[in-house]
Amino acid sequence: MSILQLKDINTYYGGIHALKGISISVEKGEIVTLIGSNGAGKSTTLKTISGQVLPKTGSVIYEGKDISKQPAHITAQTGIAHVPEGRRIFPRLTVKENLEMGAFIVKDKKVIKERMEQVFDYFPRLRERLTQKGGTMSGGEQQMLAMGRALMSKPSLLLLDEPSMGLAPVIVEQIFDIISDLNKEGMTILLVEQNAFQALQIANRGYVLQTGEIVMAGQGNELITNESVREAYLA
Ligand code: ATP
């Protein structure tokens, strides 16, 4: 069953037509990746799903419900967690406080503690740095914190925008491994990446975006070997 469907989405920023009839689907348990050049509309697609920008036409169906006009703060409480490009952690708050913010609607301290323990299973580094201010963490650690904070809301769908951006290759490997592990444990993931090769390697399926349109779709391993994808994005 599709957990998420975008049907003929058109999103504008004023006069800029950023998404031109985007239709995609994500099945439960999949990793689906969106690849494409700068400005293709990848981030806008995630923002349209999480409600940060509203589509002008078309629908976003999540768990069978039309959420196209739903504001971001409601969507965040109903199982979609969005880890934005550039992490956007709270730099002056500690690691622990950042994680708590991810579960701010949960009142039960025991539940919060349990969720934090689950986050530490994926990101042991965060446990070691509980009292460190978010802003003093390394780029990779901040990415882990941003993902950990998202997991604190116990999402059913995780939207990841460029998690590998600006990170050293060895850290990128770690982040991709963790994304794979999360998925193996059942998390459904929609992953936006510039790093198309690594994204397609871990994804079940992928879509290629170009100036606001889907120009190709297929299994991850099909796209990796596709000649035009290789030329444009994997060179
Ligand atoms: P990148 O990897 O560079 O972030 P992207 O594929 O995620 O690229 P988007 O950020 O979704 O692309 O941008 C899609 C288009 O919308 C681009 O032409 C961009 O300039 C435009 N755009 C994005 N955000 C805004 C905004 N806040 N106001 C006006 N135009 C915007």
Asked if 161 contacts 83 with a C-beta cutoff of 8 angstroms, the reply is yes
Q: Name the residue at shortest CA distance from atom 18 of ligand 1.
A: 39
Q: What is the pLDDT of residue 232?
A: 84
CA distance 131 to 145: 13
Q: What percent of the chain has pLDDT over 70?
A: 100
Q: Is the CB of 40 under 6 A from ligand 1?
A: yes
Q: What is the pLDDT of residue 230?
A: 87
CA distance 40 to 34: 10
Residues in a beta bridge with 159? 82, 190
Q: What is the pLDDT of residue 48?
A: 97
Q: What is the pLDDT of residue 86?
A: 85
Q: Is the CB of 44 under 6 A from ligand 1?
A: yes
The residues of the chain scoring below 50 in pLDDT are none
Is this prediction's pTM over 0.80? yes
Q: What is the pLDDT of residue 234?
A: 77
Q: What CA dihedral angle connects 198, 118, 4 and 184, to 10 degrees? A: 50
Q: Is the CB of 47 under 6 A from ligand 1?
A: no
Q: Is the CB of 143 under 6 A from ligand 1?
A: no
